Amino acid sequence: MSSDSGFYSIIDYTVDGPETQRELAEAFAEIQERWVRFYPGYLSARLHVSTDGTRVYNIVHWASEADYRDFVETSDTEGRMAAIQQALDGLSGEAEPRMSGAPTYRVVREIGPGPQRTGDT
């Protein structure tokens, strides 16, 4: 399969409504600014909020898996985890993680606009 360059971590939460959703997106943005965005190979964090007010995805893009691994090994993971917990504790409502395994991803396919594919193959 074709593949883009890059490596992703995807942080995924359900929340109890639009106000908690807004607070959690703000909290994740601040975590990036204080704990992540200055490491080599960091490209972006994009905060996706569902239109129904019940979910937040933080999709963090790294230039390579090696950059992500260097970040994990050299950064203050304990401090960052404590900051995340503090942010969660400070929300006015409830937020529940939806991550189910290693939260690291590759993009294996990108399908752009094009004609409708028809037929059996």
**Chain positions contacting a second copy, by CB under 8 A:** 1, 4, 8, 10, 12, 14, 22, 25-26, 29-30, 32-35, 37-38, 42-52, 54-55, 57, 59, 98, 100-118
| Nearer CB in complex with a second copy: 76/81 | 76
Q: Are 64 and 6 in contact (CB under 8 A)?
A: yes
How far is the C-alpha of 117 from the C-alpha of 120, rounded, in Å?
A: 9
Nearer to a second copy, 90 or 101 (CB): 101
C-beta separation of 93 from 17 below 8 A: yes
Number of Cβ atoms within 10 Å of the Cβ of 95: 19
User: Nearest distance from residue 39's CB to a second copy, in Å?
Assistant: 9
Closest distance of CB 85 from a second copy, Å: 19
Rounded distance between C-alpha atoms, residue 15 and residue 117, angstroms: 38
Distance between CA atoms of residues 11 and 25, nearest Å = 11
Nearer to a second copy, 47 or 88 (CB): 47
Residue with tokens 């900051």: 83
Q: How far is the CB of 75 from a second copy (least distance, A)?
A: 11
Q: Which is nearer to a second copy, 44 or 85 (CB)?
A: 44
